[in-house]
Structure 1
Amino acid sequence: MSDSSATTRERIADRLREGPATPSGLAEEFAITTGSALSHVEHVSRSVEAGDDEQLLVAPPECRDCGFSEFDDPLNVPSRCPSCKAESIEEPAFVLE
């Protein structure tokens, strides 16, 4: 599909097929907000669940200070670590395989 006729969501799905990407990376690449990028990734996730040929893999957010990675919602960018309260959180990364 050519880039000019593809929707942002389709272009994001194509980008995730190329390799891992973070929400802020997708936001910058597609000139959208981080929240919109997360929304698109969530929809892509539901779309690929309907088919059996692909799956969305998520490297969850992780605290840079204590290593905590058991966040409730891996499709989110938390602001603070619930374990040590640090605000130094590594963003989740997504890839379609």
Structure 2
Amino acid sequence: MREADETTRQRLAGALRAEPATPSELAVKLDLTPESVLRHAEHVSRSIDGDETDEQFLVAPPTCRECGFDSFDDLLNVPSRCPSCKSESISEPAFTIE
């Protein structure tokens, strides 16, 4: 299938099968906004999990750069501040499909 014929979600899944990436990295690569990447990633996650293949949608959680907190409730989101230390220095989650 040519890249022009692929949907955004197919291109996103293909990029995540190739290598792990953050929403910002995927936004640049796929010419989207990070918010749009997060919405599409949620759908890709559900389709991979409901698929009959052995693939898994994996998420490395966002992490506070100040205190190391990484137990955020929503892994498919970029939190604005740490609930533990209130720092705004939060790394983005990273996604991959294995």
Task: Identify the TM-score tier after normalising by the shorter chain.
Answer: over 0.9
Which runs of 5 or more structure 2 residues have no equivalent in the other structure?
none
User: What is the CA-CA distance between 1:73 and the residue it aligns to?
Assistant: 0.3
**Which residue of the partner structure matches residue 86 of structure 1?**
87
Residues 1:9 and 2:9 aligned together: yes
TM-score, with normalisation over the residues of structure 1?
A: 0.96
What percent identity do the matched residue pairs reach?
61
4+ long deviations beyond 4 Å: none
Q: Which residue identity is paired with 1:27?
A: A
Give the secondary structure class of the aligned counterpart of 1:94: strand
**Number of equivalent positions:** 97
User: What is the CA-CA distance between 1:43 and the residue it aligns to?
Assistant: 0.4
User: What is the CA-CA distance between 1:47 and the residue it aligns to?
Assistant: 0.5
**Which residue of the partner structure matches residue 56 of structure 1?**
57
Give the secondary structure class of the aligned counterpart of 1:4: helix
What RMSD over aligned residues (CA atoms) do the two structures have, in Å?
0.7
Distance 2:44 2:86 in 1: 31
Which runs of 5 or more structure 1 residues have no equivalent in the other structure?
none
